[in-house]
Amino acid sequence: MSHFLDIHTTDPVALRQMLDQAAAMKAARAGRPRGAPDDEQPLSGRMVALIFEKPSTRTRVSFDVGVRQMGGQTMLLSGAEMQLGHGETIADTARVLSRYVDLIMIRTFDESVLAEMAEYADVPVINGLTDRTHPCQIMADILTYEEHRGPIAGRKVVWSGDGNNVCASWLHAAGQFGFDFTFTGPASLDPEAEFVGLARSAGSTVVIERDPARAVEGADLVVTDTWVSMHDSQSAKERRHNLLRGYQVNEELMAHAKPDALFMHCLPAHREEEVTSAVMDGPQSVIWDEAENRLHAQKAVMRWCLGV
């Protein structure tokens, strides 16, 4: 059984196969209506549980549409509906769901919930996001980079801002896909040392650079994310803005990167905060392709998990 829990725990050969399949499935759908089924229906007769403890737009829609395009059905469940880990243990919920569905995707807060679900489920489990990592997003991001610029191996990726869960999965991917990674942001928001160490031990050059202009020199890709969580208090938001204001991705910062450097943001974005509209809507931005590619990358992840 193949769970998709994190990029660094998934075999690099399997990761490459997923991206190749995602690109092929995307190409096969060219010109079709969004609701049209794929030629292949590998999920025909399959039921997929989509569990959301955290609110979602892109994850919910892309997984739901992807399952339907491949001929399967979805069961959407919220944490509130399930009282996940409260009225019933995660382990028992995993055992029960395994009697009803063929695949579980969970978007949750604590990484331990994901781990326990995977440990006790008899069907594959996919990490749709935790507070610590977001592997499906980075699969879509690498798919996007490579369809615009070719192989990401040997490239320089720069993250500007908060060393959050998306940044963590970028570090996981650096070691698996062979690119170098630079983080620029305040020391109090550095990515976890464990994740930096994993990338370095896999042969990637990882640099921590406080000066954002120096950090993006020679960058092939510049990435950022929102500075605040929807659950942050007003005072916490103000503190983060004060900390991160100097790491905004704007036209001046992008001018220090390579002329053909791309810009990515996993969305939703707070325009004029972590990134300006001039960059988001500018010629280097590929954020809309990035958002679409969640669909194609996750379809390939689901097929890999199910072996179909």
225 belongs to the catalytic site: yes
The structure tokens 């192989």 sit at: 151
Q: Which two tokens stand for residue 212?
A: 């954002």
Among 3, 46, 58, 107, the one annotated catalytic: 107
Among 265, 294, 296, 303, the one annotated catalytic: 294
Give dist(CA 308, CA 296) in Å, integer.
15
294 belongs to the catalytic site: yes
Give dist(CA 223, CA 298) in Å, integer.
20
Among 266, 284, 296, 303, the one annotated catalytic: 266
Give dist(CA 149, CA 141) in Å, integer.
12
Burial of 281 (0-12, 13-18, 19+ CB in 10 A): exposed
Among 58, 132, 137, 180, the one annotated catalytic: 137
Q: Kindly report the number of other CB atoms within 10 A of residue 68's CB atom.
A: 16
Q: Kindly report the number of other CB atoms within 10 A of residue 269's CB atom.
A: 17
Closest by CA position to 222, among listed 271, 166, 176, 182: 182
107 belongs to the catalytic site: yes
The answer to whether the CB of 117 falls within 8 A of the CB of 130 is: no
CA-to-CA separations, 249 to 220, 246, 261, in angstroms, rounded:
14, 9, 13
266 belongs to the catalytic site: yes
Instruction: Provide the annotated active-site residues.
Output: 107, 134, 137, 225, 266, 294
